[in-house]
Amino acid sequence: MAFHLQRHKKTLIHISFWCVYASVFLYRISTIDNGEETNWPRTLKDFSFHMSVTVILSYLNYYIFLPRFLKDRNLKRYVFQFFPIFLGLWYFLLLGKRYIIDGFTHNREWMYEPRFIIQLFFGAIFVVIFVGLLKFVEDWFELESRKKKLENEQLASELRFLKAQINPHFLFNTLNNLYYLAFTKSPNTTEVIAKLSDMMRYMMYDSNHFRVPLEKEIEYIKNYIGLEKLRMDNKVKINLKLEGNTSGVSVAPLIFITFLENAFKHGVSNSDTQSWVEVFVKIDGKKCLYTVKNGKISESNKTVKEKYGIGLKNVKRRLDLNYEDNYELKVQDIDDCYCVELKLNLE
């Protein structure tokens, strides 16, 4: 559809140019009869012959000689191939006007004085150059369109690859949870499987879209938190707070989960009854604020960025691809907690 629309625009530009040129040329030759009354039969024959030869000359260059030049960039070959044909057709145009249109009479000899011949010559050059410039502009736009399409395909491929990295990580963590629940013969195993089924459905189908409703992303987060609560036997204090109207708001899929996974991975312990995680989502017009905080547990002294590792690099790259400069990410190592703050411009 886009290809046909582009061709339609190109055709319209060419037709518009020839209509303007034909109008100007017809007016010019109809008022040049040295003060005499316009001879319309002769004028229309001159107009038709001139336009036919000029169109042929222009599109020989447009379709044959310019594409060759654009391919091999050999200016000398282009000049030696096209210029003789240009001169030949231009001379044919001149002779046709003199002997076919005007016949062998000499009552219009003034039309073939050097000044008129020069005007005819440079008029033909102007038309050929203008149509040639259209070719250059069209090819440039086509090249830019192809580059943009290729870039979009590459970005989409990279996004698919980055999302694919998330899925195994999630599955690994969840299977560990299931193993733990099955090992302890927890009655919550079936509930975990049901939640896992919902999450897998979201990951397999909805996450393939460029944007998803924020409600679905939040539902995914709730399911994940539910799994972690079951795994931890509700020993961890988890607080999820939503503020603002999420209806009609869309975000990039799976853009929040990495921060939440890291909070549980580095801030929660079965043996620590003081473990806590706080999640806050706020919608304010076209702005979205997502905050994840978690308490610290006894670990080797690493910075939060080192801990988050590949997961953080992954999500940063996905943010770059999805939001470019329309986001702000802060990862902070505060005295008693780790804090991730993500601001998205949804416009």
Residue 5 in this model has a pLDDT that exceeds 70: no
Let me know whether 207 and 259 are in one domain: yes
Domain match, 170 and 305 both: yes
Q: Long-range CB contacts (< 8 A, 24+ apart) of 60-69?
A: 60/85, 61/86, 61/128, 61/131, 61/132, 62/131, 62/132, 62/134, 62/135, 66/132, 66/135, 66/136, 67/135
Q: Which of 78, 112, 146 is the last residue of a domain?
A: 112
Where does the pLDDT of residue 72 fall: very low under 50, low under 70, confident under 90, or very high at 90 and above?
confident
- Residue 120 backbone phi and psi in degrees, to 5: -65, -40
Same domain, 167 and 106: no
Judge whether 279 lies within some domain.
Answer: yes
Tell how strand 287-295 and strand 250-251 pair up.
Answer: unpaired
Q: Are 89 and 65 in contact (CB under 8 A)?
A: no
- Domain check: are 55 and 175 in the same one? no
Q: Which pLDDT does position 108 carry in this prediction? A: 56
Domain boundary among 112, 135, 167: 112
In a domain, residue 136? The reply is: no
What range does the domain containing 171 cover?
156-345
Residues near 178 by beta carbon (within 8 Å), at least 6 away in sequence: 189, 192, 193, 196
**Ordered alpha helix ranges (H), the chain:** 2-30, 40-60, 66-72, 75-95, 114-183, 189-204, 214-231, 257-267, 304-323
d(CA 173, CA 165): 13
Are 87 and 201 in the same domain?
no
Tens of pLDDT, residue by residue over 205-256, are: 777 788 899 999 999 999 888 888 877 766 788 899 999 998 889 998 888 9
Q: If you average pLDDT over residues 87-114, what whole number do you get?
A: 67
Classify residue 45: in a domain, yes or no: yes
For Cα atoms 238, 342, 269, give the angle at the middle one, nearest 5 degrees: 30
Domain assignment present for residue 7? The answer is yes
Q: Is residue 176 part of a domain?
A: yes
**In the predicted structure, residue 104 carries a pLDDT above the cut 60:** no
pLDDT range class, residue 125, cuts 50, 70, 90: confident
Q: Between residues 88 and 36, which one has the greater pLDDT?
A: 88
Same domain as 245, residue 186:
yes
Q: Are residues 181 and 308 in the same domain?
A: yes
Going by pLDDT thresholds of 50, 70 and 90, the confidence category of residue 199 is: confident
Asked if pLDDT for residue 28 goes beyond 90, the answer is no
Higher pLDDT, 288 or 302: 288
Q: What percent of the chain lies above the pLDDT cut of 90?
A: 15
154, burial (CB in 10 Å: exposed 0-12, middle 13-18, buried 19+): exposed
Question: Is it the case that residue 158 has pLDDT exceeding 70?
Answer: no
At 245, the amino acid letter reads N
191 and 311 inside one domain: yes
Asked if residue 163 belongs to a domain, the reply is yes
Query: Between these two residues, 169 and 118, which has the higher pLDDT value?
Result: 118
Report the C-alpha gap between 167 and 130 in whole angstroms: 55
Assess whether 71 and 164 both reside in one domain: no
pLDDT value of residue 304: 45
Which pLDDT score is estimated for 173? 67
Q: Kindly report the CATH number assigned to the domain that includes residue 174.
A: 3.30.565.10
Q: How confident is the model at residue 292 (pLDDT cuts 50, 70, 90)?
A: very high
Q: Are residues 184 and 329 in the same domain?
A: yes
Q: What are the tokens at 171?
A: 């599955």
- Domain end position, chosen among 54, 79, 112: 112
Structural domains counted in the chain: 2
Encoded tokens for 241: 């707070």
Domain co-membership, 197 together with 90: no
In a domain, 89, yes or no: yes
pLDDT tens profile 90-103: 788 777 777 666 66
Task: Please name every residue paired with 238 in a beta bridge, in sequence order, or none if there are none.
Answer: 277
Specify which residues 288 forms β-bridges with: 283, 344
Assess if residue 173 is contained within a domain. yes
**Three-class SS state of 337:** strand
Q: What is the mean pLDDT of the chain?
A: 79
What distances in angstroms separate CA 52 from CA 41, 46, 129, 212, one per listed residue? 17, 10, 17, 57
Q: Going edge to edge, which strands form the sheet with 327-333? A: 237-243, 276-284, 287-295, 337-345, 327-333
What's the confidence (pLDDT) of residue 102? 63
Residues 298-329: pLDDT tens digits?
654 444 445 555 567 878 888 888 888 899 99
Tokens of 159: 């996004």
User: Do 283 and 176 fall into the same domain?
Assistant: yes
Q: What distance in Å separates the CA atoms of residue 220 and residue 23, rounded to the nearest whole number?
A: 66
